[in-house]
Amino acid sequence: MITTDGFTVEPLEFPGGDVGSLAVHGTVNDLAVSGAVPRFLSLNVFIEEGLDVEILRRIVASMARACSDCGVRVLAGDTKVVRRGQGGGLYLATTGLGQRRAGVDLGLHCIRPGDRVIVSGPVGDHGAAVLLAREQFGLAGSLRSDAGSVLPITGILLALSGLRFMRDPTRGGVATVSHEIARAAGATVRLIERDLPVRPEVRSVCEILGYDPYYLACEGRVVAVVDAAIAAEAVAALHQSGFTEACVAGTIEMGAPRVVLQTSLGGERILPELEDDPLPRIC
């Protein structure tokens, strides 16, 4: 399997990661949620004139650690320099190659009404952490990005019979992945607010700045759809492996293709599809 992506996050370094580790993990994660074992990467680096050499060294070292942790190697690459003012310091473009596991059939085509939606942990951490790191709003906090490899999570889920689909909810967050599911399945995705984990710090940032946490990017989480019969088993397996905040967060229902949030107060709120990127340069 092959995947390709670009990374333009601002700032280049943020609590919990940097553009280098983000590029490696993001590419590895795209392969992992497709059921592949990541093997190799190619890397293109676009450096703006004037970038601090120490920042570049830290980011390269971070990429090397991330590659080692994920068991992948960079086999090819290229470097270009752009004029001062024509780039955001450093842009990265990666392509990943992975080996598809034998007998794995995952995808939107496998989803059926009655299936359950599992989220591997709290949502919105990455988006909120990067927002705070930009220091544009006079806010500060200890929140860290969830950026990291999802290989341990996907490995647990792939061992279970009844796994239908996996996705890492990056741009557009869990709400956008849910819309992708609803369109493909021709069904309603019902998310349960009281079950869908959002850290208090993330919720506070969203309330202050007017964002919705369900649309904020995650960079170390998995949204999975599983047969209802194995949902409890899947969550228990994740909990036993240290992912203690994993939960069943929703259901696939017969109905119009849409995403409904069942609120903690017992009402319903339609989560509309995004028309534009609410938070550019987040990954």
Beta strands in 83-226 (DSSP E): 90-100, 116-119, 163-167, 188-192, 223-226
- Phi–psi pair at 255, nearest 5 degrees: 150, 180
Name all domains of the chain by residue range, CATH numbers in brackets.
2-100 (3.30.1330.10), 108-270 (3.90.650.10)
Residues 6+ apart with CB under 8 A from 209: 131, 137, 139
pLDDT per residue over 90-132, tens digit each?
999 999 999 988 888 899 999 999 999 999 999 999 999 998 8
| Distances in whole angstroms, Cα of residue 70 to Cα of each of 66, 98, 122, 218, 277 | 6, 12, 22, 18, 29
Bridge pairing between strands 188-192 and 247-253: antiparallel
Is the pLDDT reported for residue 223 higher than 80? yes
Supply the pTM of this predicted model: 0.93
Number of C-beta neighbours around residue 2 at 10 A? 12
pLDDT per residue over 227-250, tens digit each?
999 999 999 999 999 999 999 999
- Residue-level pLDDT at 104: 87
- Stretch 268-272: mean pLDDT: 95
- Stretch 18-27: mean pLDDT: 98
Amino acid at 258: R
Is the pLDDT reported for residue 138 higher than 70? no
Is the pLDDT reported for residue 139 higher than 70? no
Amino acid at 40: F
